[in-house]
Amino acid sequence: MDGTPPAESDPRVERLVNELIGRVADKWTMLILELLEEKGTLRFTEIGRQVEGISQKMLTQTLRQMERDGLATRTVHPVVPPRVDYALTPLGNSLSAAFCGVWIWAERHLAAVEEARARFDAL
């Protein structure tokens, strides 16, 4: 795998991965990381549209932190209105590839997690 989830992934797998992200890492960083890995360079507004539920303030904070950590680059184009693009760095790409293991785990263990949750909820 190249670090991106399959194009036709099971929405239940995606939900499970998102839940796990929220528990073990910063949810927004990982979602933006995966989006930039999949789509390449994107404008700020396009990232905001594609990351469901993120506020403009949180998007700005997350992208700034990713830039500070060396995970993403920010390019400001001198046009009116200003255009700002973001892309992953090699460091960001390597983190995305490592995170791909969570998707693989979720796909393999989705049924077992759903069964465990059903047993727990029946108590």
Average pLDDT of every residue of the chain:
87
Range with the lowest mean pLDDT among 15-19, 32-36, 37-41, 92-96? 15-19
Domain housing 65: 11-122
- Asked whether residue 27 is assigned to any structural domain, the reply reads yes
What is the share, in percent, of the chain residues with pLDDT greater than 90? Answer: 52
**37 confidence band (pLDDT: 50, 70, 90):** very high
- Asked whether residue 67 is assigned to any structural domain, the reply reads yes
* More confident site: 88 or 82: 88
The pLDDT value recorded for residue 53 is 94
Q: Residue for token digits 């979720």? A: 106
C-alpha 69 chain-centroid distance: 16
Q: Residue for token digits 């991965």? A: 17
Please count the structural domains in the chain.
Answer: 1
Q: Where residue 47 sits, what CATH number does that domain have?
A: 1.10.10.10
Q: How do 72-77 and 42-43 pair as beta strands?
A: unpaired
**98 confidence band (pLDDT: 50, 70, 90):** confident
- Asked whether residue 77 is assigned to any structural domain, the reply reads yes
- Asked whether residue 30 is assigned to any structural domain, the reply reads yes
The pLDDT value recorded for residue 20 is 66
